[in-house]
């Protein structure tokens, strides 16, 4: 019998729709897979077996239909799920069960997609390796001694380990794409405002973007279509029709890119990427040229300032957003013995509840926003952000999409970068500019370097998400998908 966990989402949806298998069978197969391997991978913080099977039963009874009805999904633990623990991988929210669903979760449920559980992540989505989870790291299915990327390492690892066919991630500086790259999966960041942030535990409100994680480009596009669209409850949501990303992905599978111009960013050339990453990227470019694409070098002179600008803007917004975790309204409360002041209780709660990386970013952001320093730091970073946006706009007057490696290096061993935050931050060197701009970007597997996956990034103009899916699907048709070693 076919192993249902090895099938992609599109195939599973077809089998369920034609009643060749039941949604309950598909959900059970994945739940059993989680039970068999997740003690080694640790992709999940919570498994919602009863809820997933109940949702699958509704599909089998014909109560819910749709393109992905019955296809199970995992959800990053920074997205609110009613009645299911949502902790942002932090002790300060341990055991918290939201009283409502995030908009994207409500759309998953309306589409008939059983939620398998909540995936591990760097605490409050702050990290590039999932080593900063308060509940222990997630392992990379390609090599259990290496990181699965971050902050959404749990979602990508769950897909790579065949525990789920699809997952939801969030991307603030590369947290969908970078884990996709190092786990050999597909990770897509939609246009900012193209997917709702309502019900997302905020890290950096002007950057956070929920999006799809999958094993194929078409699967990512199918999930994108389910979760995207205007939401009046999100003030940053774009009130426009969603580009037909599914049709674009299917068009790209034909492997014809005649007339498509791919821009290589001149400033990324001396990037210090590992030789194997550079080689896989160059081979992929050659494959795209054979499909008819034209390569054009473009200059984006302010991209080199993206990393420092991001690490002022994002921590500043985090400092503001995380002020709500004060030990008073909900979540952890420490030291309230009746003899301490409210300020002391807040201080003790935040000291115990937040991990080292979250504290680092809160301190940095608070300093950048403080009187006398706001203009010099946060204000200047926002000016750089405007210049980066102009670089993108100028580039897209010359080319259809920009391309680069997703990350400069493959999955690194646990503990090898935690002592040097700057080296950790370099994992997002190529992904951060797109977040500052707000456009869509996708990471697609493009080969191996010393046995570890390499990702190829495609960046498109705002609300041209379909454009990146077409190129991504064409690349996938040329180089194929990756199969992790058996666990």
DSSP single-letter state for residue 412: P
DSSP one-letter string for 93-134: GTT---SS--HHHHHHHHTT--EEEEE--SGGG--SSSTT-T
Catalytic residue among 151, 156, 204, 273: 151
Assigned token pair, 393: 């706009």
Residues 6+ apart with CB under 8 A from 221: 188, 212, 245, 246, 248, 249, 469, 473
Residue 117: strand pairing partners = 47, 74
Catalytic residue among 48, 90, 133, 175: 175
CB 485 within 8 A of CB 161: no
CA-nearest of 116, 236, 197, 199 to 164 is: 116
Residues 6+ apart with CB under 8 A from 479: 283, 284, 287, 445, 446, 447
Q: Is 19 left (phi over 0), alpha (psi -120 to 50) or beta?
A: left
Environment class of residue 19 by beta-carbon count within 10 Å: exposed (0-12), middle (13-18) or buried (19+)? exposed
**Annotation says 151 is catalytic:** yes
What separation in angstroms does the CA of 428 have from each of 135, 137, 401? Answer: 23, 19, 19
Catalytic residue among 76, 91, 109, 139: 76
Question: Residue 478 in 3-state DSSP?
Answer: helix
Please state, in angstroms and rounded to a whole number, the distance separating the CA atoms of residues 164 and 15.
16
Greatest Cα pair distance, the chain, in angstroms, is 73
CA-nearest of 484, 486, 485 to 180 is: 484
CA-nearest of 400, 418, 359, 434 to 178 is: 434
CA-nearest of 319, 306, 321 to 428 is: 306
| Helix (H) / strand (E) containing 404 | strand 401-405
CB 383 within 8 A of CB 116: no
Size of the chain, expressed as the number of residues it contains:
487
**Annotation says 449 is catalytic:** no
CB 183 within 8 A of CB 142: yes
CB 149 within 8 A of CB 176: no
Question: Residue 195 in 3-state DSSP?
Answer: strand
**Which residues are known catalytic residues?**
76, 151, 175
């Amino acid at each position: 019998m076919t192993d249902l966990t090895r099938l992609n989402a599109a195939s599973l949806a077809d089998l369920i729709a034609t009643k060749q298998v039941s949604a309950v069978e598909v959900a059970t197969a994945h739940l059993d897979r989680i039970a068999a391997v997740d003690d080694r991978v640790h992709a999940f913080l919570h498994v919602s077996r009863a809820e997933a099977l109940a949702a699958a039963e509704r599909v089998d009874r014909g109560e819910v239909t749709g393109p992905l009805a019955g296809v199970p999904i995992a959800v990053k633990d920074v997205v609110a799920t009613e009645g299911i623990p949502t902790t942002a991988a932090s002790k300060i929210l341990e055991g918290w069960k939201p009283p409502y669903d995030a908009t994207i979760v409500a759309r998953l449920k309306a589409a008939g997609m059983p939620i398998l559980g909540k995936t591990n992540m760097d605490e409050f989505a702050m990290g590039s390796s999932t080593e900063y989870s308060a509940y222990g790291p997630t392992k990379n299915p390609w090599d259990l001694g290496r990181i699965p990327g971050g902050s959404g390492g749990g979602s990508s690892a769950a897909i790579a380990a065949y525990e789920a066919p699809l997952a939801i991630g969030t991307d603030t500086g590369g947290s969908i794409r970078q884990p996709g790259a190092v786990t050999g999966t597909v990770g897509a960041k939609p246009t900012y405002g193209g997917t709702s942030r309502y019900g997302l535990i905020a890290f950096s409100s002007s950057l956070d973007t929920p999006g799809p994680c999958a094993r194929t480009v078409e699967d990512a596009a199918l999930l994108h279509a389910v979760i995207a669209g205007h939401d009046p409850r999100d003030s940053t949501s774009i009130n426009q029709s969603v580009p037909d990303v599914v049709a674009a992905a299917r068009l790209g599978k034909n492997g014809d890119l005649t007339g498509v111009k791919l821009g290589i960013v001149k400033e990324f050339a001396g990037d210090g990427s590992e030789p194997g990453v550079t080689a896989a990227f160059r081979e992929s470019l050659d494959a795209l040229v054979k499909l008819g694409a034209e390569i054009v070098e473009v200059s984006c002179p302010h991209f080199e300032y993206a990393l420092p600008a991001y690490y002022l803007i994002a921590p500043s917004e985090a400092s503001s957003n995380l002020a709500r975790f004060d030990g008073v309204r909900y979540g952890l409360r420490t030291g309230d013995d009746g003899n301490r002041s409210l300020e002391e209780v807040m201080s003790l709660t935040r000291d115990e509840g937040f991990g080292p990386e979250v504290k680092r970013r809160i301190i940095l952001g608070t300093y950048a926003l403080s009187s006398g320093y706001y203009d010099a730091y946060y204000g200047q970073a926002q000016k750089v952000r405007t210049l980066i946006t102009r670089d993108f706009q100028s580039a897209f007057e010359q080319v259809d999409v920009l391309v680069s490696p997703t990350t400069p290096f493959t999955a690194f061993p646990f503990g090898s970068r935690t002592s040097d935050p700057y080296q950790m931050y370099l994992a997002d060197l190529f992904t951060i500019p797109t977040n500052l701009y707000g456009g869509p970007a996708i990471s697609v597997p493009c080969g191996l370097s010393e046995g570890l996956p390499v990702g190829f990034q495609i960046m498109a103009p705002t609300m041209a998400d379909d454009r990146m899916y077409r190129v991504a699907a064409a690349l996938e048709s040329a180089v194929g998908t990756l199969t992790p070693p058996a666990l």
